[in-house]
Amino acid sequence: MTATLTLVSHHLCPYVQRASIALDEKGVRFERTNIDLKAKPDWFLKISPLGKVPLLQIPQEAGEAVLFESSVIAEYVEEAEGGPKLHPQNALERARHRGWMEFGSSILSDLWGFETAKDRNTYEEKRKAIAAKFATVEAALGAGPYFSGSAFSLVDAVFAPIFRYFDLFDTLADHQIFDGLDRVRAWRKALAERPSVKAAVSADYGDRLMVFLEEHDAYLLRAGQN
């Protein structure tokens, strides 16, 4: 495909990051348009059925096609573009990977509650839920460095943005979420070093995430003081 695709984005959205990583890993040229989710522009609302990012705008001869939902975008890129395969060739393994992608999304749901918790009880509830899910992930991992071994996959694209949150969270509190999870920690490190993962956010990501925590009066900002 010669036309440049456009990924409609938000600076902090982990779902945008997974789409960006997938595009990069496939070697697809694309541009990014960041929007303010607190003041969504009219043009965005007209083309986003759910009012959410990411969107992938795909030039066509008769206009433009728009895809929404990060998993749909990732699957389209995998099927429509060249480059390395990001899904296993075996149907059973491919289905298994899709299941773990959904599991990653469930962690993101808990992570939202963790980072926006305003009191200790909610914070602890979500912290324990996330730790338990990562313990489940630990049992599913092999020798690495990636989810299914030496080949980078869409499961890796899903989990890399999850791990990125903790680059800041680790500096704020001793949350102990990864304690005793050696394979998970090694996986996190390998993903952080991947060029596509580094390129999925802007240089001021950490500052923007800190502002988000402050705006939500996050207990996480006080957890290290208790």
Active-site residues, by number, are: 13
Query: Which residues are 55's β-sheet partners?
Result: 8, 68
Q: Which residues contact 11 (CB under 8 A, 6 or more apart)?
A: 34, 201, 202, 204, 205, 208
Cβ-proximal residues to 78 (8 Å cutoff; 6+ apart), any chain: 22, 26, 85, 86, 87, 154
d(CA 119, CA 76): 41
Residues linked to residue 8 through DSSP beta bridges, in sequence order:
33, 55
DSSP 8-state assignment for residue 37: T
> Helix (H, G, I), strand (E, B), or coil: what is residue 140?
helix
